[in-house]
Amino acid sequence: MAPLNILPSSTNLRFAFMVVNLFVCYLCMTEVSAGGSGRGLLGKRLREQREFDLFKLSLQWPGTYCQKTRRCCSSNGCCQGSNKLPGFTIHGLWPDYNDGSWPSCCNGKRFDVNEISTLQSGLNKFWPSLSCSSSTNCHGGKGIFWEHEWEKHGTCASSVTGDEYNYFITAINLYLKYNVTEVLKEAGYVASNYETYPLGGIVEAIQNAFHATPEIQCSKGAVQELHLCFYKDFKPRDCEAGSGNSCPAYVSLPEFISPEMVNAEAQDSNSASTYRSFI
């Protein structure tokens, strides 16, 4: 008896692929007809994200960030004068998972700047944008920095923080209560363009103050970001990642210098050089 041919024929394979493609197209059409984005069930599953495990208050050091500023604009906090950014400012309040990943762009109300109008002065002082670039939102467009933070992170924290206003006021209150700049100042770690400080000493100062280990990220040996981690009841906890490999044993905390001041000094220097060339 001839052996059985258990391999599918090319005709059968083509038929199977056709059936699969028709089914996928049906799902996409169903999503579109229901007012969806055309991404089918996959798009829905991406938004059905599991509940997060902790909060991460991300702080940025303006002295490091603003060194990268190439142009000034009204929305760039780096350009607001020498006394405007004396220490760490808020980058965001982020819901995270214990494994280091995070949810983003969850279901929720779109950003409305009117919702936080009464917080404007506090946001400008404690949570400024340090860039002139527009930030992406979760709907394929671009907007202001706070819009990005609310839509990407705030919507995923709403089970704890609630609406847009409460998300921002919660972050500001945490920032003021756990004042990292003051803790480091009391320990002798202040902004300087000449000193470097032991990374272990900075971590220890925060551990002693808040009984939790922060996460620190550096850029070219300078502290750029510092993260404080919290349980969902906002009690401090250790950050899982620690300080990673981005920081050396000794780090700097560069002084904040407004790019406008640097430009003015450069113009004064050029003017003086031009004057001397005529004497």
Which residues are known catalytic residues? 91, 149, 153
Dmax (CA) for the chain in angstroms is 111
State how far the Cα of 268 lies from the Cα of 138, in Å rounded to an integer.
44
Listed in sequence order, the residues at least 6 apart from 95 whose beta carbon sits closer than 8 Å to its beta carbon are 52, 54, 55, 56, 102, 103, 153, 156, 157, 160
CB 144 within 8 A of CB 129: yes
Alpha-carbon gap, residue 226 to 243, rounded angstroms: 9
By DSSP bridging, strand 197-198 and strand 142-143 are: unpaired
Is 54:241 a contact under the CB 8 Å cutoff? no
CA–CA gap between residue 65 and residue 78 (Å, rounded): 8
Q: 242 and 227 in contact (C-beta within 8 Å)?
A: no
